[in-house]
Amino acid sequence: MENYHLYGQKEEQMDWKDKTAVITGASSGIGRALALNLSGKGASLVLAARNQPALEALASGLPGGSSRVRCVKTDVSIEAECVSLIEEAARFSGDIDVLINNAGISMRALFGEVDLKVLHELMNVNFWGSVYCTRHALPFLLQAKGSVVGVSSVAGYKGLPGRSGYSASKFALQGFLETVRIEYSKQGLHVLIACPGFTASNIRLTARGRDGRPQQESPLDEHKLMSAEMVAERIVRAIEKRKRSMVLTTQGKLTVNLNKFFPGLVDRLVYRHMAKEPDSPFK
């Protein structure tokens, strides 16, 4: 079935078979789901994560075949490794059409109790990792009139108690990407800020506690959350439609929209919601 824009113009379908996408944080969760989705559409992929064995295991099962995927062990908090990732992507394909900044970590602790090294780590991965990758991929993305995607969060619109470092990093990410969008708006660069909401993934298992160690358990019922596969499908669709932003889940949309008009009310609602988590750091 043909799709049409609001004003009756035919909407062109994106052909992924001649596209190359770089995905950070690709070894699990949303990143892994994005790799499976785009590989199924025929895209060439450059997959990045710190867990090389997990990347290799993922690549071996992709429907696109090993000739269309390259795995690069990358710690995005280190600029030199981000440079190597982009250089390897350019050697592999010659072009970079889509960069998905998905690598990220979370936290769960009161600000007054958390070791500040945790906030440094979150900023280095969630914010600076996206800055490094975007900066070094920018010439290729501009040449392709391609897309840069930041996987953010509702925490980038509303500060979440117990997640001070996480919210700070996502606010920073969104401000950075909005600026990049405006600066290169006349050069054909597409920038998408994607906010999935709570997603069934391992991000809460690896979330840092107040001492910086992973908490290794989720305070949420993962079975009730949106699946990583569904989130990946929505992100890919938003890239194809070159959307500016995307907020998923009814709860996420309600939080963002209600906060525009009744921020004090949302403060109280968010506090109550987060305080109900098992072993919440505040009551």
Residues designated as active site: 166
Q: Judge residue 263's burial from the number of C-beta atoms within 10 Å of its C-beta, 0-12 exposed, 13-18 middle, 19 or more buried.
A: exposed
Q: How far apart are CA 167 and CA 162, in angstroms?
A: 9
Q: How far apart are CA 250 and CA 56, in angstroms?
A: 35
The answer to whether the CB of 69 falls within 8 A of the CB of 118 is: no
Q: How far apart are CA 127 and CA 172, in angstroms?
A: 7
Q: What is the CA angle 26-32-33, rounded to 5?
A: 140
- The separation between the first and the last C-alpha atoms of the chain, rounded to the nearest angstrom, is 52
Residue 23, φ and ψ in degrees, nearest 5: -125, 120
DSSP string, 97-138: -EEEE-----B-B-TTTS-HHHHHHHIIIIIIHHHHHHHHHH
